[in-house]
Chains A and B, each alone.
Chain A
Amino acid sequence: MKVAIATLGWHTEYLTPMFGEVDGIQKVVFYWGFKDKADYKAKTLKSVEEMSGILDDMSVKYEAKHLDDIFDFKYIVNTIKTDIEKEKKAGNEVVLIDIAGGTKIMVAAALMVALFKGIPAIYCDEETKDAVRLPLLGFKYKAGLTDREKEVLKFIIDYKDPEELSQTRLAKLLDVEKGTINPQVQSLYKKGAVSLVQSKDGRSKIVKAVEGIDLLLEFEG
């Protein structure tokens, strides 16, 4: 079964052009959510109802997935990623990700999944309502890190007590000299993969993985 993934905002017309992009979409998984204001909720629910109606009319199966937090990038990426894996396990093929609707963070999250999974992505031109296919090169973002940097980063991400991880401690835990680990930590810092924050006693720098950087390692194994 051919499955399309989509992020839905208040306008269903941004999602319907996806049917012209790929033949025979049989199922759509679309994500929706709202902030707590009553009128936002009403507008979003109306859009979900409309979208469901359109898909019913087209005899296309669908799952309308509610997002608890439409501004939590990592949670949205993981939700979409898990659903794609579920579809694959069921023998379905995810043929398209439509990033036209929802919040900017929903759009960015769906785009990241498309880029990292190599799934074609489309955006809807707001004026012409035509689908615009985004040119994806299909490359490994993780190639931006050396193997050793990936190992060190993985260790930092998995470390259970991030408030305590100074460079000295990191070197000790990895059983290397501090002078050996320093260039790798500096390089990870320059590449934006870790942050260096002053420890509570002000005597050392704590190495912390940047929020969401684990997604890079997860995506590309």
Chain B
Amino acid sequence: MSMPVQKVLICTVGHDVENKTDWPADRTVFSALRNHQFDRLVALVSRKDLDCVTVAKLKGFFKERPGKLEIVAIDTSDFFVAYQAIQRVLGANAPHMLCIDISGGEKVLAATAVFCAFNNGIAVFHNEAETFTRLPIIRGFSVFVAYTDDQQRIVSAIKGKMTLQALYKMMAREGMDEEAVKDGLCYLKKKDVGIVESWSEKGRTKVVLTEKGLVLKKLLPKKVAERKASIEKEDVGGEAEAAQST
């Protein structure tokens, strides 16, 4: 049975060392809770901020509401690790109505969340010093919409310069036949698409991602199954269990 669609509020939370206003860090997060309707809250917290006052207050706030709070620890020391972690959160919650509030937490976390939101078409809000801002983002418009699932899988699979045969083998293991790979590559190699380049070397066809292709590979969210699994294993861990069991 499919899960009913929920309103999921994703907030950046943490200790903001550079908070330039008189607002304490927790006040920005609690103002987000006040400003948005939601069924469930996902708090994105920098790993180093997991013990901060705001997180403790959030746990207290949701104490009597099990399952309503999910705390996801994000490693913000590497922008791309943080980016993929947030992509996984968005992917795992994809069936639901999502919105992101970046009022709380550190700036790098907010910047990463905004970047993800632009790429995935998720509404973003910010509230600070009584100024409420909604970023102009077309909801539901993802930059990945230009590529089919098969094409995205091919891009994710290409590693360096590889032979076409090796790519066929790799994709076959994922259940994609040669025809589907050929179709996908045909589109990705088009001049105006420019994601993959191919050439012949010693009688063998080789493929490589272009610069644009490498960018796409970096941005592409991982498969839903992987995203869900990794969230359960890596990001949430004990924190989520603790939060949800309260």
Contacts and interface: CB of A to CB of B under 8 A. Distances in A.
A137 B219 contact: yes
Contact of B219 (A73, A135, A143): A135
B213 to A, nearest CB: 10
A135 B111 contact: no
A196 interface: no
Nearest to B140: A191
B107 interface: yes
Contacts of B135: 73, 108, 112, 212
Interface in B163-196: none
Nearest to B28: A104
Contacts of A60: none
Interface residues of B, number: 41
A145 B111 contact: no
Contacts, number: 113
Q: Is chain B's binding surface mostly helix, strand, loop or mixed?
A: mixed
B3 interface: no
Nearest to B214: A135
A115 B118 contact: yes
Contacts of A105: 126, 128, 131, 133
Given A125-B79, A137-B215, A104 B102 contact: yes
B95 to A, nearest CB: 16
Interface stretch (B16-24, B36-44, B63-71, B228-236): B16-24
B138 A111 contact: no
B143 interface: yes
A134 B129 CA distance: 29
A73 B133 contact: yes
Given A212-B134, A216-B136, A37 B22 contact: yes
B114 A108 contact: yes
Given A135-B219, A137-B143, 8 more contacts: A71-B128, A104-B111, A139-B143, A141-B118, A144-B140, A144-B141, A191-B139, A192-B134
Interface of A: 9-10, 34-35, 37, 40, 70-73, 99, 103-105, 107-108, 111-112, 115, 123, 125-127, 132, 134-139, 141-145, 190-193, 210-216
